[in-house]
Amino acid sequence: MTASAPVEPVDDRIVKLVSMSSDDPLAPFVLRPGKEYVFSPDGLAVIGYRLKFGTAVVGGDPVGDPDSWAAAMDEFVALMKSKRKRIAVLAAGERARDMWASYGLAAVPIGRDVVVRPAEFDLVGRKFRNVRQAIQRTRNAGVTVETYLEMDTPDAVRRELRKIVSDTGRDTERGFSMILGHAFDGSQPESLMVVASDAEGRILGSHRYLRAGEADLSLDIPVRVNDSPNGLDERLIAEAVEWAREHGVERISLAFAPFPDLYIKEDKNKTERFLAALAHTLDPLIKVERLTRYLRKFHAFDKQRYVLLKWRQIIPVVMALLTLEFSK
């Protein structure tokens, strides 16, 4: 098994801004290694970005006080103009969309957050039958689940989870907007670890949920062994929801669902039919369709996410976006 990469130092100012965030599932991912940052003049908001192919790509919304977002954007745009860099935003939320539009960026909807609200969520009724059945299969197989804060996770459990990551080829360093990386190395001490084991005590998999403020959790790293029983992910999510309900968490972000309306809508126009066909064609590579169909069973599609860009720059911007999101 390869050794874990060393943990990069984290700017305490950014950690504090993440802890102040509310109702923003992507806020914790501003801490992803390799990003550069621009702060608002008052230090109350920050923008995380990376440069690729001459494009400065922002991941998600600014983090921190929404009243300081506009000032952070002004600083960021001015800096990129001075460096002659294009600007694009990946997975912008509804709050920031119109603010970015004032800089001449067009908004393209690309999907929705999937957010479970523990106080309201239960598995009663016909629409959750598949989820209930999946969870019951794991119970029938003797699967048990433990929850820890990452700082309290036993060292043996961490070592085994890192071995699973290595053995299964699960690349936790890929992505840009929704994977933090640094798998189970203690760098996120307040994160929630939900760990499943079989009847003999062998660890089967885990979900890690990052904290964003006091009321939000975001799923970061899901891993499992290749021979884990069907329904393991559903069981881990259900256990995370139960923990969250008991600890006052208001929202759990499970993932980002790309283009969910394309798969649900029946009377598609030509553009929508083309996008649906394209997503289906690319599914073996990026698993867009199967991810969205899996997430649909939780009936938790939430706010829209957007890519923001200038149309005349679409080719280099799309190359930068795809390279960042699907490569190291």
Structure tokens at 89: 């935003």
Q: pLDDT tens digits for 282-304?
A: 565 556 666 777 788 888 889 99
Predicted local confidence at residue 285, as pLDDT = 52
* Span 78-108, pLDDT tens digits: 999 999 999 989 889 999 999 999 999 999 8
Q: From the CB of residue 103, how many other CB atoms can be counted at a distance below 10 Å?
A: 16
pLDDT in tens, 305-323: 998 888 888 887 777 766 6
Model confidence, pTM:
0.84
Token reading at 121: 């969520």
CA–CA distance, 9 with 23 (Å, rounded to integer): 26
Q: Which stretch of DSSP H or E encloses residue 148?
A: strand 144-149
Tokens 């005590």 belong to 201
pLDDT for res 327 = 53
- At what angle are helices 288-296 and 270-286 packed, to 10 degrees? 100
Give the DSSP per-residue string, 162-207. HHHHHHHT--TT--SSS----TTSSS-TTSEEEEEE-TTS-EEEEE
- pLDDT at site 176: 45
DSSP character for 126? G
Distance of alpha carbon 206 from alpha carbon 228, whole angstroms: 11
Q: Which helix (H) or strand (E) holds 99?
A: helix 94-101
User: 141 is written with which tokens?
Assistant: 């197989």
Domains of the chain, each with CATH number or no CATH: 12-111+305-326 (3.40.630), 118-249 (3.40.630.30)
The pairs formed by 208-211 with CB atoms below 8 angstroms and a separation of 24 or more are 208/150, 208/183, 208/184, 209/240, 209/252, 210/28, 210/29, 210/180, 211/18, 211/19, 211/28
pLDDT of residue 4: 43
pLDDT at 319: 74
Extract the residue ranges of the chain whose pLDDT is less than 50: 1-7, 172-177, 328
The pLDDT of residue 318 is: 74
pLDDT at 174: 44
Q: Is 218 helix (H, G, I), strand (E, B) or coil?
A: strand
Supply the pLDDT for residue 1. 38
Q: What pLDDT is recorded for position 252? A: 96
Name the residue among 29, 23, 76 with its Cα closest to residue 51. 76
pLDDT of residue 274: 65
